Chain A
Amino acid sequence: MPLETVFAGIKLRNPTVLASGILGTNAEILIRTAKEGGAGAVTMKSIGPCEKDGYANPTILEWEHGLINAVGLPSPGYKNTEEELKQLEKSGIPLIASVYAHSIEEYAEIAGFAEKFKPAMIELNMSCPHSKGEGMPFGLDEETAGQVVKAVKKVSGKTPVMPKLTPQALNIASIASACERAGADAICAINTLGPGMLINPEVRKPVLANKFGGISGPAIKPVALRCVYQIYEAVKLPILGMGGISNGRDAIEFIQAGATTVGVGSAVYYRGIGVFKEVCDEMVQWMKKNNAKSLEEIRGVAHGH
């Protein structure tokens, strides 16, 4: 199969990955996204330290060129995710457990808990742009990002650790390098761009209850591609690239920028849960038409002269 991919040592039947915060609220829908939807791996909604409701609605809206969301990292609290994690472990589906926290110690505490259920990987969300004091502050600074990775690596055993970076960082490549030095096994980029906002002119008010939210979907694809491109030049680690991937051709662009796997989030809105299978079919078609025998052959080819 031309799409089989090894990512940080994990064998995947294809490189498409369900992005965190999309669908991933329970084990059943994650299993469905893999089995019926065709995703090579799935990421659960980021889990946090305690029970938290997130913001009032509207939290997620579609506008002309993408989505904007300020869900506010709702979480049942990591201890309440045990049943789901167990069920996913039993299913054998490659699961990326996503974690957010308020402190370096908390990242380690939650990652240590998740590790017990042998997920394929642990993702560290240090990049949520709309939640106060969680996520993004850790991804803006090389030293802090490195400390989070180091603390998590101490408790993560054999499970690969993948920080998820924000395009807000002044130099995303140097954050990635700091994570690599701290022992990260892969890099995920990018989280939503922003924050941005929508105003309803008739109501004369912002539409999101939180006013500001992260932007995703087609609008952010050029930024995401640039980030993946720069990270690829800075580190040797494999990259999970995402941000505005809606079809197979988009996915190929990310591979050419240097990604090993490709995340799909907002496109679930545009094309439904079957989007992963469709993106894979389109990738294979593109490869046939353009005489690419494997993804390996085209990975990073956009670099150099």
Chain B
Amino acid sequence: MTETPETATIKKISQETPSIRSFRLDFPMQAKPGQFAMLWLPGIDEKPFTLTAEGKECAVTVQEKGKFTKALFKLKEGDKIGIRGPYGNGFSTSRVKKACIVAGGCGAAPILLLAEELQKQGIKTAIINGARTEKECLFAERLRKTTHDLYITTDDGSLEEQGFVTAPLQRLLEKEKFDCVFGCGPEAMLKKVFELCEKYKVPCQLNLERYMRCATGICGSCVLGKWLVCKDGPVFNSKQLRETEEFGSKALLKCGKDVPIKEFAEWRQQ
């Protein structure tokens, strides 16, 4: 196998929220939930995106924000795009009998395949999905099809509970015993999820992000402490996170400068 991008045709584009679209590609990719692909737009850039469908065809779900995603949003069904992957470790569902999933914002993307997988395996799962507003709530209906236990929070209270995902998570951890809490979303949120899991002694697996180049574990651009997000991650377990001071606190910019996670998050929004 070579690690150069191949070409795929965009078969279907679906508008998920005002700022988020899914792109279905006629490109086979066997992947675990949480694994990602590198998408290439010639002349623009190449970026990692979590897979929201896998098998004979694959899909990615993208929020419009920077130069790359703006260019991607200009593409139409039938257009071609470069792709390589899948990469990363993905979530592990082994020995999990009862699960809780926490997603914030675009973090619902890697969670979708996971929720579908847990449902397929007959694992009882509670899902908490947080968004800024009702309109930006991603995959609510598709997640509802996978569980009877869906909690939605919005920052402005426009849909269901007002506030952050951590409130329903704490209530659930208080009364139920989960084998694992899976999470994806902004790192500040994930840090709080991690702290709650530690307090209630529940193992967790969290999907993290760093600036990436090779995606194959050699360049070191995406380091999180001693871990490589592209190869050891993007999903990290409680034990790894406990050993990693950088989690929730620091990240490297494109130039390699180590900055507070808030500065990194702001840079990523551009």
| A contact residues vs B (CB 8 Å cutoff) | 21-26, 28-29, 31-32, 45, 51-54, 56-64, 67, 69, 71, 74-77, 80, 83-84, 198, 200, 202-203, 205, 207, 209, 265-266, 268-269, 272-273
Contact = CB atoms under 8 A, between A and B. Distances in A.
Contacts of A54: 254-255
12 contacts: A22-B219, A24-B220, A25-B220, A29-B220, A29-B228, A57-B47, A58-B5, A71-B213, A202-B6, A203-B82, A209-B45, A209-B46
A268 B3 CA distance: 14
Contact of A80 (B214, B223, B257): B257
B80 interface: yes
Nearest to A23: B220
A272 B217 contact: yes
A158 B88 CA distance: 43
Contacts of B40: 57-58, 207
6 smallest CB-CB distances across A and B, nearest first, come from A62-B3, A57-B46, A76-B257, A25-B220, A28-B226, A60-B214
Contacts of B220: 22-26, 29, 45
A196 B159 CA distance: 55
Given A62-B2, A62-B4, A63-B4, A205 B255 contact: no
Contact of A25 (B3, B82, B216, B252): B252
Contacts of A63: 2-4
A269 B45 contact: no
Interface string B240-252: 0000001000001
Nearest to B212: A57
Contacts of A60: 213-214, 216, 218-219
Nearest to A58: B46
Contacts of A268: 217-218
Given A23-B220, A28-B226, A205-B43, A59 B213 contact: yes
B186 interface: no
A222 B46 CA distance: 32
B186 to A, nearest CB: 22
Contacts of A67: 218
Main secondary structure of the interface of A (DSSP, over half): loop
A59 B219 contact: yes
A248 B213 CA distance: 29
A254 B5 CA distance: 33
Contact of A28 (B38, B43, B46, B225): B225
Contacts of B4: 61-63, 198, 200, 207
Contacts of A32: 226
A45 to B, nearest CB: 7
Nearest to A63: B2
Interface of B: 2-7, 38, 40, 42-47, 80, 82, 213-214, 216-221, 223, 225-228, 246, 252-258
Contacts of A57: 38, 40, 45-47, 213
A153 B232 CA distance: 40
Contacts of A29: 220, 223, 225-228
Contact of A59 (B5, B214, B223): B214
Contacts of A198: 4
Nearest to B42: A205
A74 B255 CA distance: 5
B219 A71 contact: yes
Contacts of B45: 56-57, 209
Given A60-B214, A202-B7, A268-B217, A51 B255 contact: yes
A266 B219 contact: no
A26 B254 contact: no
Given A60-B214, A80-B258, A200 B226 contact: no
Contact of B257 (A45, A61, A77, A269): A77
A21 B219 contact: yes
A305 B44 CA distance: 55
B5 A269 contact: no
A26, A29, A67, A71, most chain B CB atoms within 10 A: A26
B65 to A, nearest CB: 16
Contacts of A74: 221, 254-256
Contacts of A24: 220
A59 B3 CA distance: 12
Contacts of A51: 255, 257
Contact of B216 (A28, A62, A203): A62
